[in-house]
Amino acid sequence: MLSWRRLLICLGGGLLAAALTTVAGVPQMAVLVGWAVAAGGLLLWVWRISWPRGPEGTKRLAEEEGRTRVTDTVVLSAAVASLAAVVEALVRSGTGDAVGVATVLLGVLVVILSWALVNTVFALKYARLYYSGGDGGIDFGQREPPTYSDFAYVAFTVGMSFAVPDTQLAATSIRKVALGHALLSYLFGTVVIAVAVNLVTNLGQQG
């Protein structure tokens, strides 16, 4: 689902939004607006396709995902890079005026979207590993095969708690992926706290 075509279309929309933001006279928010549009569009597109799928549809899409592994790295790298853009924007918006507060609020949105995108990439990755392995590697405690909603449960729980939920990871390859996922989620959690503190500070200055 993370095909190059979808990525390029969403990035194109983000570039257009960034250009319009610059023309509107707030170039300091252009990168954040562009990434918010691109990430939000990609999230909606991917989950609109994957969420309604049953077990058979999930298996078929997961097997097709094996051809788009490079895009996983591209999306994850862009999501991490967006954190640098947020930090830069926060440094430049050190004032408590309306633009400064709007920039911080936009930074919060960007971090949330990037966090959701990271967890989405890992949900797709867990599904791909499950259906490409012999015994799946994840015990969901149910008889019916898992769907994308089950893999989203695993991914977003790791993303929120930095720990594996009540499912059992029974394969080393999946444990390695979950470890990297938890570490990356911890990075995002740290940035979320920093952005929240900055937002409170800006609101206090404005008051």
pLDDT tens-digit readout, 109-128: 998 999 999 999 999 999 99
- Listed residue (76, 71, 87, 70) closest to 32, CA to CA: 87
Work out the mean pLDDT of the chain and round it to a whole number. 89
Assign 97 to helix, strand or coil: coil
**pLDDT(203) > 70:** no
- Listed residue (115, 33, 19, 126) closest to 75, CA to CA: 115
**pLDDT(44) > 90:** yes
Q: Which residue reads 């594996």 in tokens? A: 164
**pLDDT(101) > 60:** yes
**In the chain, domain spans:** 4-206
Parallel, antiparallel, or unpaired for β 138-139 and 168-169? antiparallel
**pLDDT(91) > 90:** no
Q: Distance between CA 10 and CA 33 in Å, rounded? A: 13
Which phi and psi (to 5°) does residue 141 adopt? 70, 30
Assign 138 to helix, strand or coil: strand
Type and span of the H or E element at 53: none
User: Within the chain, how many helices (H) and strands (E) appear?
Assistant: 7, 2
**pLDDT(106) > 80:** yes
Contact 61, 163 (CB under 8 A): no
104, 110, 113, 117 alpha-carbon torsion, rounded to 10° = -150
pLDDT of residue 63: 87
With a threshold of 0.75, does the pTM exceed it?
yes
**pLDDT(3) > 70:** yes
Other beta carbons within 10 Å of 62? 24
In the chain, the percentage of residues whose pLDDT exceeds 70 is 92
